[in-house]
A and B are shown apart, each in its own frame.
Chain A
Amino acid sequence: MSEEKKEYAYFLGCITPNRYPGIETSAKKVFKEFGIETKEMMGASCCPAPGVFGSFDMYTWLPIAARNLAIAEEMGLEIYVTCNGCYGSLQEADHLLKEHSKLREKVNEILAKVGKEYKGTTKVNHSIVVLHDVVGLDPLKAKVKKPLKGVNVAIHYGCHFLKPREVRGHGSSETPYILEDIVKAIGAKPVEYKDRLMCCGAGGGVRTADTQTSLDWTRQKLVNMIEAGADCVIHPCAFCHLQLDRGQLEMNQAFGTSFNFPVLFALQLVGLAMGFSEKELGLDQQITKMPEKLLK
């Protein structure tokens, strides 16, 4: 990364600030260590969730997303996100508005009523991609104070981090590498497990409409990780975090299971390796508890 100071507008979304603020604090803390400043997006709303609001009414989903993009444009900054839903929504909206000029006019007519305009001058980045591509793996390795040697990590990508490929642009969605690179850079080991690339089960309004079915789906994924000998799961998505972490409490209540499998947003695991404490990263404020192996 170049020496110049880099600033981003942090699009918080809903789950990160309103359910798992440990994710928010991990992003701000980790990036600060690399000289990346985070600016708040005053007045941002829900992204809004692409599989939920996009399923209800595309023509409401798009102007709300465009309004969020316009806030970052006014700040003159690129965006980073900590949720695949936000990534999916904002990047897709930006892509569509850049591609289709008629659509853009229509959306701007609506935005004009609230004093906003989408110009197409920002870029939507995922925080994990910022770490991988902008910060880079060598500077990351240089900041590792507590290498996570002997820690087996199950990687869960979620869906909208990689797909659709034509919008995301991170290569193959069947053989991803970004999180694997990061896990290795902090001294841990990615483990293979059955259905590694399968969705967490929460998206598209399924969790909202039928929690039981979505939990049944998630349970299978967790069992696969545990059977493969993983010590924890990391992911790039606040909504997956909710489903994987809070979902374990809900599963234990609904199915009589006794899951307590540690769930971390990828930057929380990176934060631990960089020497931040469990408390500083908000990991003591969630359902699943961190094992000694990750904290020593």
Chain B
Amino acid sequence: MGTLLDEIIDWGGGVFGEEHMETLRQCVQCGKCTGGCPSGRITALRTRKLFRMAQEDMREEIFNAPELWYCTTCYTCYERCPKGVKCTDIIRVIRNLAAKEGHMSVPHRKIGVYALKTGHGVPIGPDQMKIREAIGLESQPPTTQKYKEQLEQVQTICKETGFDALIDFDWDKMDLKGAEAKK
């Protein structure tokens, strides 16, 4: 396996193109990303530091850094970076690599469970159906949660890409495997 930097460029390059990801090499640690970061005001997120860690091949440190998951993907740093580093996309790619190695929180995996069960990250419940009716809409929108054969398409895609294995999904229980389902 190459360095973490190679892996970031390879994984992200498949979606964004390698040139986009190569911008990470251009980071000169000026800190403009961190200076304008709204999350950094109240959390430990320091984008500049994350990028240095990535350049220095600090795999375990970066994958285990809780602050990696405190970016709201607001793109402020992305727009302001004087070196054109595609910050937000790079952060999402690093998260992908962390998730592949099992660094994914239970609440995040639960969002994945909703998607596999209903096709929605935020599904509808009976109370919301009543609200829809009260304002003159159909009780359920015509989406994957309503139509089983449509939902199956999303489930098939997730099986093809291995998303079910990524979040450790149990198709018999339709929930996370093991004790984590209850958390």
**A, B co-complexed:** yes
Interface of A with B (CB < 8 Å)? 12, 14-15, 17-19, 21-22, 24-25, 40-46, 48-60, 62-64, 67, 96, 99-100, 103, 110-111, 113-116, 159-160, 163-165, 173-174, 195, 198-199, 201-206, 208-210, 213-214, 216-217, 279-280, 282, 285
Known: A18-B141, A45-B143. A25 touches B78 (CB 8 A): no
Contact: A159 with B72, CB < 8 Å? yes
Interface size on B, residues (CB 8 A): 68
Contact: B131 with A45, CB < 8 Å? no
- Cβ-neighbour of B120 out of A14, A62, A214 (below 8 A): A14
Contact: A206 with B135, CB < 8 Å? no
User: Taking chain B's interface residues, is the majority helix, strand, or loop, or is none over half, making it mixed?
Assistant: helix
- Cβ-neighbour of A217 out of B42, B128, B156 (below 8 A): B42
- Cβ-neighbour of A59 out of B43, B119, B156, B161 (below 8 A): B161
Known: A43-B153, A46-B119. A22 touches B135 (CB 8 A): yes
Contact: B143 with A19, CB < 8 Å? no
Contact: B17 with A63, CB < 8 Å? no
**Alpha-carbon distance A121/B107, docked complex (angstroms):** 36
Stretch at the interface among B22-30, B51-59, B108-116, B173-181: B108-116
Question: Is B132 an interface residue, CB under 8 A from the partner?
Answer: yes
* Residues of B contacting A52 in the complex (Cβ-Cβ under 8 angstroms): 108, 111, 121
- Cβ-neighbour of A110 out of B104, B132, B161 (below 8 A): B161
Q: How far is the CB of A290 from chain B (nearest CB, A)?
A: 15
**Alpha-carbon distance A87/B183, docked complex (angstroms):** 32
B114 to A, closest residue via Cβ = A46
* Residues of B contacting A60 in the complex (Cβ-Cβ under 8 angstroms): 157-158, 161-163, 166
Contact: B154 with A45, CB < 8 Å? yes
Contact: A59 with B137, CB < 8 Å? no
Q: Which of B39-92 contact A (CB under 8 A)?
A: 39, 42-43, 69-76, 78-79, 88, 91-92
* Residues of A contacting B123 in the complex (Cβ-Cβ under 8 angstroms): 14, 18
Contact: A50 with B161, CB < 8 Å? no
- Cβ-neighbour of B112 out of A25, A56, A206 (below 8 A): A56
Contact: A67 with B153, CB < 8 Å? yes
A56 to B, closest residue via Cβ = B99
**Alpha-carbon distance A174/B122, docked complex (angstroms):** 31
